[in-house]
Amino acid sequence: MEYVEPLSRGHSRYVALVDSARAYLRRRDFLTYSTQLVPEPIGSETWTLAWGYMRKFDDMLDSPEINKAQAMTLLEGEKEVVERLFSGDFRVPRRAPARHHLLAQFFENERRYYSGRALRVVKDLYESAWGDVQRRGVILSESMMNRLLYKKARSFFKLYFILADWDLGGRIDQFSYLFGMGLGMLDDILDLADDYRAGYINITREEMEQLDVDLSPDDSAFLQRVINAGYLTLKAKKIMSLLIRARQLARTITSRYVRSFLLRLSEVFARPILEGKFFPGQKYFFKGGALAERLLPRNESLAYRVGHRLMSLFLRFPQIPAALFNNYAL
C-alpha cells in the first residue's frame, strides 16, 4: 500500500487540500463556512482542516440511515487511523478517504505551529463521538448529558480558540464553556426532531421529571408532549443565562476584533430565542452571509483573503439589537 506524508504549508497540494475543505464547508451554510474566515491564515487553514474532518465524519455518524451498531462500526474503523495519528505517524494511504488526508494534515500543522497545545482537546472531541453514539435510544441523566456536552461542544470552542491564537485574557476555558454549553443545548433543540428520528433523545431524566412527563421515547407523542409541557421555555432560560454571561465576559477583551466576534457569536446563537423562532427545524444564521456569499470569489484561497477583510467589517455591526438581551435579562 502506498502512503503519503502531510505537506508543507504553501505547497500546491496543501493549498488544494485546504481549499477542498473550505469548499465543502461553504456548501453547507455560511455560518459553518464563516468561522474559517475570521482567524489569521495559519489559524484559518488549521481550523478548516479540523472542521472539515469533523463535519464530514459527524455527518456519517449522525445519519438516520445507519443504526447504532453501524455507527459503532464506523467509529471502530476510524479508531486505528486516529490512534496512529496521536502516536506521531502522520502517513495515510494515498487512496484513503479525503477526510483522513484532512485529519493527517491537521495533526502536522498542530505539531508544527501549536506544539501539542490542542491535542488534549482533540482527544476529548474524539472520545465525545463515542459517547454520542452510545447514547442512541437512551435517556441520559442531567450529569451525563452535561459531561457529554462539555467534552463535545466545550472542546469544539476550545480547539477553535487555541487555533485562532487569540488573547482571551486567560479566560479561554470560561469562554469555551459558556459558548460550548450554550451552543450544545441550542443544537439539541433545533435538531430535536431530526435527532429523535436518528435515535438521539435530547431531554434528560431530570428534565422529564421537572416537566412531569412520564413517557417512553417509543411513544409516538413523545416529542409533542415534551414540547407542550414547556421544554422549550426551560431550555431557553438555561441557554440565555450562558450567553448573557458570555457577553459580559466578552466586553473585558481588549482586542476590538476578537471582542466583536464573541459578541456577534452570542447574538447569532441567541437570535432564535429572542426572535421567537426557538423550536425544532429552525436555523441560526449570520446576518450578512448572503451578501458575503455574493461577494466572495469561487477560488477558495482568494475567497479567504477577501472574506477575512469583509469579516472585520461585518463584525462591527450587531446581529440583533442589544436591547433584546436586556429585555430578556429582566
Q: For residues 264 and 289, give the distance between their C-alpha atoms in angstroms, rounded to a whole number.
A: 13
pLDDT in tens, the chain (330 residues): 798 999 999 999 999 999 999 999 999 889 899 999 999 999 999 999 999 999 999 989 888 788 889 999 999 999 999 999 999 999 999 999 999 999 999 999 999 999 999 999 999 999 999 999 999 888 999 999 999 999 999 999 999 999 999 999 999 999 999 999 999 999 999 999 988 888 889 999 999 999 988 767 777 788 888 999 999 999 999 999 999 999 999 999 999 999 999 999 999 999 999 998 898 988 888 888 889 999 999 999 999 999 999 999 999 999 998 888 887 754
Per DSSP, helices labelled H in the chain are 12-28, 30-34, 41-62, 68-86, 98-109, 119-134, 142-149, 155-164, 172-190, 192-197, 205-210, 222-228, 231-250, 256-274, 289-295, 300-314, 322-329
CATH of the domain at 167: 1.10.600.10
Distance of CA 188 to the CA centre of its chain: 12
pLDDT at position 222, please? 86
The closest alpha carbon to 154, from 118, 187, 132, 178, belongs to 178
In the chain, the amino acid numbered 20 is S
Number of domains in the chain: 1
Q: For residues 58 and 146, give the distance between their C-alpha atoms in angstroms, rounded to a whole number.
A: 19
The closest alpha carbon to 287, from 270, 299, 301, belongs to 270
Query: Contact at 8 Å (CB) between 229 and 213?
Result: yes
Give the number of other Cβ atoms within 10 Å of residue 262's Cβ. 24
In the chain, the amino acid numbered 174 is Q
Domain that holds residue 114: 3-329
pLDDT tens sequence across 212-270 = 887 677 777 888 889 999 999 999 999 999 999 999 999 999 999 999 999 999 999 99
pLDDT at position 329, please? 59
pLDDT tens sequence across 43-65 = 999 999 999 999 999 989 888 78
In the chain, the amino acid numbered 119 is L
The closest alpha carbon to 6, from 96, 131, 137, 138, belongs to 96
* DSSP assigned state of 296: S
The closest alpha carbon to 310, from 283, 282, 291, belongs to 291
- CB proximity list for 36: less than 8 A, separation 6 or greater: 22, 25, 44, 47, 48, 51, 304
Query: Contact at 8 Å (CB) between 24 and 52?
Result: yes
Q: For residues 118 and 135, give the distance between their C-alpha atoms in angstroms, rounded to a whole number.
A: 26
